[in-house]
Amino acid sequence: MLVASILISQFYLVCAAPAPAALGGPGLQLVQEPKSFANSTESVPDGVVMMHLECVEKVFADEVVQSWNLDGTSSDEQLKVIADRMNNRLTYYTVNVSIGSPPQYFPVQVDTGSSDLWVPSNTLMFDGFDTGASSTFRYVNSPFEIQYVKDAAKGFWGIDTVSLQDKFTVTDQQFGIATDAPGCEIGIFGIGLAGSESTDEVYANFPQSLVDQGLINKNVYSMYLNDLHSKQATILFGGTDKAHHGELATLPLVSKKAFQVNMSNISVNDKKLLREPMPVLLDSGTSLVYLPEKQVKAIAKSYGAKFNPSLSMYLIDEHDLARKKPNGLDFTFGDVTINVPHEELFWPLSWFTLQSSPYYVMTVMPSNYSMDYVILGDSFLRSAYVTYDLDKHEIQIGQNIITTNSEIVPLYPDNPQ
């Protein structure tokens, strides 16, 4: 059972649960959403399944998701990609799924750090999943229980149809129905590695089912998280979008159960902070970046951020931040360097307190807040374009390119990316 993801859904305005220390200090809760801008629609080729997710809970996108065959044939070898747009809730990303017959709709947090799909039961939440209302639901005689770094969920397993945007349907999909999930207000869409599910009996999780049932050709997906000010992001199952990245580094996973790779170095103001490569987790289910305390202190010192013991966070005055005009932080993977701009490294304290403040919070946190896992979460991943190859147990990573253009290509087994 993977415990790498930090469950941070309680930090958005719509969530009322108290914030754990993993995102900030004790008692801090993110209560203000930053300014957002409209996002344009990508055009998706045939054979690709594109999921577009809108930023309103329980409401599906009006955009039509298309599946097509690029060579114009109806062959079983058609080019297949599934794409969806994710909602940026600043501290986590959601996608809408429907489960059962007739369909019941749920927003779920997209999490590359776990491998199970689960939704709340209607005994836990009034709008949770009602097993009795689905004619295709079947019970699995096994208890469901999953432990995250900060939170947990438990209940029972079931099998039913699961659809993305009512267009791309997987039948007989196993998923969890939570009857107890303290701190969690929505379910989790775990799309991590097969074999990392929170059950002793192996089953095909959702990405694997897409392959097994012929909706995509290869167990691979790529994520474009756009930027901090965009409410929407995109996930492509079975494909990649060449318009959103430049040079890519291919990195083998150093873990059999998680998207963990070796990071070559971190640089701040051209000063390298590592003497040897460091294993890091790439996790969309975690909001911020968590590094060893030594590196966090070096980064804070370079920017002039000071530790505030009452908040357990590093702060910098807005005037100091404006005067320094930092270049951001460089994360190197092989021959590729990902630059994370200072807008991602420092967030207004007012986002957490809803009170006017001249201070900014440094979003690079000590890894003792994450059970000593070194994690590159969304505040890093928005600057990177990552393709997750679950078949080859590797990733490809490059600098994210913010553009309204799109060049989506499907991927086959052994297809060069």
| pLDDT per position as a tens digit, 123-132 | 999 899 999 9
User: What ranges make up the beta strands (E) of 60-103?
Assistant: 81-88, 93-99
Q: Are 50 and 83 in contact (CB under 8 A)?
A: yes
Residue 400 carries which DSSP code? B
Between CA 211 and CA 219 the distance in angstroms is 6
Q: Are 175 and 118 in contact (CB under 8 A)?
A: yes
* Fold matches, 9-239 and 244-385: yes
Tell me how many degrees the CA angle 310-148-153 measures, rounded to the nearest 5: 115
Instruction: Specify burial of residue 275 (Cβ count, 10 A radius: 0-12, 13-18, 19+).
Output: exposed
* Cis-peptide, bond into residue 207, ω within 30° of zero: no
Helix (H) or strand (E) holding 212: helix 206-212
Q: Could you give the percent of the chain with pLDDT greater than 70?
A: 79
Split at pLDDT 50, 70, 90, the class of 327 is: confident
Residue 65 carries which DSSP code? P
Q: Are 148 and 5 in contact (CB under 8 A)?
A: yes
Torsion of CA 133, 137, 140, 141, to 10 degrees: 50
Q: Are 283 and 114 in contact (CB under 8 A)?
A: no
Selecting among 84, 111, 151, 389, the annotated active-site residue is: 111
Selecting among 84, 283, 378, 389, the annotated active-site residue is: 283
At 90-109, the pLDDT tens digits run 567 888 899 999 999 999 98
312 versus 59: the higher-pLDDT residue is 312
Segment 184-203 mean pLDDT = 88
Task: Name the class of domain 244-385.
Answer: mainly beta
Q: Could you give the percent of the chain with pLDDT greater than 90?
A: 55
- Looking at every residue in the chain, the average pLDDT score rounds to 80
What is the pLDDT at residue 45?
Answer: 55
Instruction: Specify burial of residue 262 (Cβ count, 10 A radius: 0-12, 13-18, 19+).
Output: middle
Tell me how many degrees the CA angle 262-264-270 measures, rounded to the nearest 5: 150
At 346-400, the pLDDT tens digits run 999 988 777 889 999 999 999 999 989 999 999 999 999 999 999 999 999 999 9
Phi/psi at 206 (nearest 5 deg)?
Answer: -60, -50
Split at pLDDT 50, 70, 90, the class of 50 is: low
252 has a pLDDT exceeding 80: yes
At 113-152, the pLDDT tens digits run 999 999 999 999 989 999 999 999 999 989 999 988 777 8
The architecture CATH gives domain 9-239: Beta Barrel (2.40)
What is the pLDDT at residue 170?
Answer: 96
Instruction: Specify burial of residue 145 (Cβ count, 10 A radius: 0-12, 13-18, 19+).
Output: middle
| Nearest residue to 259 via CA among 165, 340, 380, 158 | 380
281 has a pLDDT exceeding 50: yes
Split at pLDDT 50, 70, 90, the class of 417 is: low
Is 414 designated active site?
A: no
35-44, 171-180, 352-361: range with lowest mean pLDDT: 35-44
Split at pLDDT 50, 70, 90, the class of 23 is: very low
Torsion of CA 342, 377, 22, 58, to 10 degrees: 110
Q: Which pTM does this prediction carry?
A: 0.83
What is the pLDDT at residue 230?
Answer: 81
Q: Where are the domains of the chain?
A: 9-239, 244-385
Between CA 244 and CA 377 the distance in angstroms is 19
79 versus 40: the higher-pLDDT residue is 79
At 55-91, the pLDDT tens digits run 222 222 222 233 333 333 333 345 577 777 766 555 6
134 versus 51: the higher-pLDDT residue is 134
Is 372 designated active site?
A: no
**H-assigned helices in 271-394:** 293-303, 318-324, 342-345, 350-353, 378-381
Q: Report which residue type is found at 71.
A: D
Split at pLDDT 50, 70, 90, the class of 34 is: very low
| Nearest residue to 407 via CA among 77, 48, 84, 42 | 42
Q: Is 208 helix (H, G, I), strand (E, B) or coil?
A: helix
Residues pairing with 4 in the sheet: none
256 versus 76: the higher-pLDDT residue is 256
